[in-house]
Structure 1
Amino acid sequence: MSALEGAVQATLLPMIKGTKTEITPSSQEVLATWTLKTALMCQLMQDRSVHNLPSVHYTELFQARKPSSQMRVFAAYMAPPQYPPGVSPIEYRSIPSEGRFQTPDGTEHKLWGVVVTLRIGYAVLQLVSVGPVGYTYEINLAGFAPYARQIWPAQDTTAWPPQRLESIQELNQFADPLKHPKVAL
């Protein structure tokens, strides 16, 4: 874990400070892995009765040393969280959801999803995990294209920061992209 903490610093620290930086494909993988590890660690501090990221993600991360190809990780930009009496160093949100859908052959499927959003300084990192394993999906971020950069699965080198999220209402909408997912089998 300490190797991951050391490897992510070159990318994450400028993001936390709100400084312009480029995120290469290799640094996207490190940042996405760090986001998953941090989301899992934050989850350990939550009430065990609340369903969040499946426990299999701990094993998968240990074995693969990176997020699964079914996960999505996004990076956005927003002013640091403000709570009385001042700036908070981190904000953690986890929004689980479940649903059912039917394929044309009449088979009913259970779909689950968890969106974890971490706000650290100016960096907003979002992990999306949807299952069951084997289903492909798209996240409908059409309205957030200027505000978010996909970093997992890794893309071409991207400039950060994107356009800034200005209000808590925009963050609330960004933090729950599964309200209207585009699901494809």
Structure 2
Amino acid sequence: MSQLEVVAQRVLTPLILGKRGTIAPEDQAVIAMWAQKTALTAMLISSEEQRRAGYGLPPSVYKAFHERRDQMRPLDTSRFWVGRYKGTARHSAIQVTPLAVRIPGIPEPHVPQGYAITLLLGALVLHGLFFTMSALEVGTTMDLGMPQLWPSDVPVQWPEGQPCTESSFLRLAAGKMLQSTVETVELRAWAPATSVPQSTFVDGKVRVPALCGKHSFSYPIALLEEVHRGRFYAFVSGCECPRSYLLHTESDSVHYKAAGAADGISQMYEDLAGEEFFIRDSTGTFPCKRLPVGP
């Protein structure tokens, strides 16, 4: 698949550097395939535990992707958008969020039904959506008004649409800017992989089971009180596995954003834009970052 890299370097390098450009129709499928390959490769490094939690794909997906290498286009149930990043907190990022196709009255599925794919390279954002089967595919729009890269048969001008800021990048990567065009259908993050399990209150703190299912961690109840004021925070916690977690408070609950080794999670936290705060109580000091709020 070295041809993917050749085309991606030729087409995307000026955009990464922030220079205006055009992605020609003959290059669009290749760029979409390159973005999908990059995301699928990143998912291969997930641990077995993370795969069980929804961050892995069956070998059949990789086989299907490899079998179309001569066609030079992404999987059939895919679509991609391209936009501009306007921020200073990040220079590169890859994030894949498991999604569910939600219909009122039908329970949360046992496995993800799609994946939001987000790549950030300098000034360039590539955002994609992949459904696990064609029967689940629904029409989708993207809130920022980014031009659709794939499928498309017209030249795509860059940049177009609203720029992606640091705060909107977090929502974009979480799949929250993808909107179904079917009135009764929603696309949401797949809860088992992104939502913290049922919590309890212990000694003035919120205690929740860790993602491993064996341990628990706590955070100050003050963070929940801040949610009601429209202020949201990121923080790092961990368990005895050992394993570290990056979490964000959001309007509906606390959500996992990443899990892994302590050094990597700490660096992700440091790279986040936002002012750092320290909550002090009888058990010590709890660091957290207030997340930017914006479109």
Letter aligned with residue 32 of structure 2: A
Taking the TM superposition and a 5 Å limit, the aligned residue runs for 1:161-176 are 161-175=159-173, 176=175
- The residue aligned with 1:126 is 127
Q: What is the aligned-residue RMSD (CA, Å)?
A: 2.8
Taking the TM superposition and a 5 Å limit, the aligned residue runs for 1:1-185 are 1-50=1-50, 51-52=54-55, 54-55=57-58, 56-65=60-69, 66-79=73-86, 82=89, 88=91, 90-101=92-103, 110=109, 112-141=113-142, 143-145=143-145, 148-175=146-173, 176-177=175-176, 180-183=179-182
Cα deviation for residue 100 of structure 1 reads 4.9
1:111-165 per-residue CA deviation (whole Å, 9 max, x = no partner) reads 7121010101111111211233333312232x321xx121111331111112452
Distance 1:81 1:49 in 2: 33
Distance 2:67 2:119 in 1: 24
Q: Which has the larger radius of gyration?
A: 2
Task: Determine if contact 1:101/1:109 at 8 Å carries over to the other structure.
Answer: no
Task: Determine if contact 1:53/1:114 at 8 Å carries over to the other structure.
Answer: no
SS of 1:75 mapped into structure 2: strand
Deviates more, 1:9-18 or 1:52-61: 52-61
Q: TM-score with structure 1 length normalisation? A: 0.79
Distance 2:22 2:116 in 1: 25
Task: Determine if contact 1:113/1:178 at 8 Å carries over to the other structure.
Answer: no
Q: TM-score with structure 2 length normalisation? A: 0.52
Distance 1:24 1:164 in 2: 21
Distance 1:163 1:179 in 2: 15
SS of 2:103 mapped into structure 1: strand
Cα deviation for residue 95 of structure 1 reads 1.0
SS of 1:154 mapped into structure 2: coil
Gap change, CA 1:172 and 1:8, over 3 Å in 2: same
Task: Determine if contact 1:113/1:131 at 8 Å carries over to the other structure.
Answer: yes
